[in-house]
Amino acid sequence: MKKILFLDQSGKPGGAELCLIDIAKPYRDRALVGLFADGSFRNLLQQNQIPTRVFSTQPISVHKASDLVQGIKSFQQIAPLINQVIRTAREYDLIYANTQKALVVGALASFFSRRPLVYHLHDILSQEHFSQTNLRIAVTLANRLASLVIANSQASKTAFIQAGGRQDIIEVVYNGFEAKNYQTHESEIRKLRQELELENKFVIGHFSRLAPWKGQHILITALAQCPPQVTAILVGDALFGEQDYVKQLHQQVAELGLENRVKFLGFRSDIPQLMAACNLVAHTSTSAEPFGRVIVEAMLCGRPVVAAKAGGAIELVEHGINGFLVTPTQPQELAKVITTCLQETQTTATIASNARISASQRFDVATINQQIAKLLDCKIKTSYVSTNQPIP
C-alpha cells in the first residue's frame, strides 16, 4: 500500500492547493501533506481529515522573478526545511511536489532519500511568469530527478517542453471537481442577490485575486461601454504587495462614474453561491492562464463564461458552444459579448447548459483521481523494480 508525501509551499489556498486537496483525499489514511508555511490552507486540509505537517513557519523568500543571487541567499534559510523533508521522505514511498518551491525541496529529498519524485505543474513555465534562473532550475530538476511531471493543461505541457523539459516524462491531467459542490438552490440565489442589492441587475462576476495580470481593469473599462443595468462584482483581494493595483481600480471606477455598478466584495468563502447569483462570469487575464479553475467552477454552477482566449482557457471553452472567448486586453470585444448575453437570453441559457454538462463530464474528480492513481502506481512500481526492492 503506497504512502505518499505531498509537498506544497503555500499557507494560503490557491488553485493548486484546492487541486491538491482533491488529489490527497483518497490517500489520507496513508499520506502526509507537508507545508512550507502555515495558514488557512492547513485548516482546509484538516477539515478534510488529511494529515498535515507545517515544516516551516517562515515563508521562503524566493519568488517567481528572483535571480540566482536571491536563490543562493535563500538556501541558508531553507536548509533546515530540506533536512526535515529528507528525514520524513524516508517514511514514504513517493514524494509529490505540488508547487515550484516544493519541487526544489522535493527534488533534493528525492535524491537523498532515494524515493521517486512526481512534480505537479500548475504553471506556464515561460519568461512572462518566471525569471530565467527559476525557469532553468525548475526544468533541470524536473528533467533529472522527476519520474513524472503532471501538467494541468496542454498549454502547461507545451510551455514545459519549449523551456527544455523532457517530453517523455510529462502527462496532462486536468483538475478535478465535485459537481455537487456547485449546486445552489434558487431561494439562496435570490437571498444573496437581495443582500448585495443586485435585484433587477445583469450581474457579471469576476473571481480572482486583485492583480494587474488578472485584468480586473479590463472588465471595468468594458463595463463603462455596457448598458446601465450591467453591474460587476469583484470577488478577491490583493496578495503579494499588490495594494497599489487595488487603489488604481477604485480610482478607475470613480473616474468612469461606476461607483454604483462595481462592488468590491473581497475574499469570500461562498464562491459557488456567488457564481450562481451572477448572470455571467468573466475571466480577463492579460497573460495565458495554465488552466483556469474559475472557468470550470462557473460552468458547473450553470453560468455562462466569457474567457480570455489564451493558455488553458482555450482547452476549456468552445466559443459559442459552451462559453465565449475574447481577445485578451480588448475591453471593446468583452463589452460586445456582455451586451450579447444581456440581449440574447435564450441562446446564452443554452450555452450555459452546455457548459454545465461538458464540465461535469470532462472534469469529474473521481475520474481525474483514477487517472492520477494509475500514473502514481506505475511510477512507484517502476522505482522499486529498478532498485530491486519489494513493492509495498
pLDDT band, residue 111 (cuts 50/70/90):
very high
Residues 279 and 136 in one domain: no
Q: Give me the CATH number covering residue 37.
A: 3.40.50.2000
Residue-averaged pLDDT of the chain: 92
pLDDT band, residue 75 (cuts 50/70/90):
low
Q: How far is CA 88 from CA 12, 63, 113, 299, in A?
A: 23, 25, 9, 40
Once rounded to an integer, what is the mean pLDDT over residues 97-123? 96
Distance CA 291, CA 289 (A): 5
Once rounded to an integer, what is the mean pLDDT over residues 310-319? 97
Angle between helices 132-145 and 100-113 (to 10 degrees): 40
pLDDT band, residue 242 (cuts 50/70/90):
confident
Q: Given its phi and psi angles, is residue 329 left (phi above 0), alpha (psi -120 to 50 degrees) or beta?
A: left
Structural domain containing residue 187: 179-362
Is it the case that residue 391 has pLDDT exceeding 50?
no
Residues 15 and 150 in one domain: yes
User: What's the pLDDT score for residue 60?
Assistant: 59
**Residue 391 in domain:** no
Residues 184 and 283 in one domain: yes
Alpha helices in the chain (DSSP H): 15-24, 40-47, 68-89, 100-113, 132-145, 154-162, 186-195, 216-223, 243-255, 271-276, 293-300, 313-316, 331-343, 345-362, 365-386
Is it the case that residue 271 has pLDDT exceeding 70?
yes
Residues 236 and 339 in one domain: yes
Is it the case that residue 299 has pLDDT exceeding 90?
yes
Is it the case that residue 385 has pLDDT exceeding 50?
no
Residues 328 and 375 in one domain: no
Is it the case that residue 168 has pLDDT exceeding 60?
yes
Distance CA 144, CA 111 (A): 10
More confident residue, 268 or 56: 268
Residues 215 and 187 in one domain: yes
User: What's the pLDDT score for residue 339?
Assistant: 97
**Residue 70 in domain:** yes
Q: How far is CA 377 from CA 107, 243, 255, in A?
A: 19, 44, 57
**Residue 392 in domain:** no
Residues 240 and 130 in one domain: no
**Residue 353 in domain:** yes
- Kindly state the helix (H) or strand (E) to which residue 52 belongs, with its residue range: strand 52-54
Distance CA 328, CA 326 (A): 6
pLDDT band, residue 380 (cuts 50/70/90):
low
pLDDT band, residue 386 (cuts 50/70/90):
very low
* Residue 364, strand partner residues: 177
Residues 202 and 351 in one domain: yes
- Kindly state the helix (H) or strand (E) to which residue 307 belongs, with its residue range: strand 305-308
Among 3-12, 265-274, 379-388, the least confident range: 379-388
Residues 239 and 300 in one domain: yes
Cell of 376: 502514481
* Residue 267, strand partner residues: none
pLDDT tens-digit readout, 112-149:
999 999 999 999 998 888 889 999 999 999 999 999 99
Residues 76 and 120 in one domain: yes
User: What's the pLDDT score for residue 58?
Assistant: 66
Q: How many domains does the structure of the chain reveal?
A: 2
**Residue 50 in domain:** yes
Distance CA 162, CA 140 (A): 13
Name which of 300, 367, 391, 387 is nearest 22 in CA terms.
367
**Residue 106 in domain:** yes
Is it the case that residue 369 has pLDDT exceeding 90?
yes
pTM over 0.75: yes
Residues 152 and 200 in one domain: no
Residues 10 and 52 in one domain: yes
User: What's the pLDDT score for residue 108?
Assistant: 95
Residue position matching grid coordinates 463603462 = 224
User: What's the pLDDT score for residue 366?
Assistant: 96
pLDDT tens-digit readout, 172-220:
999 999 999 999 999 999 999 999 999 999 999 999 999 999 999 999 9
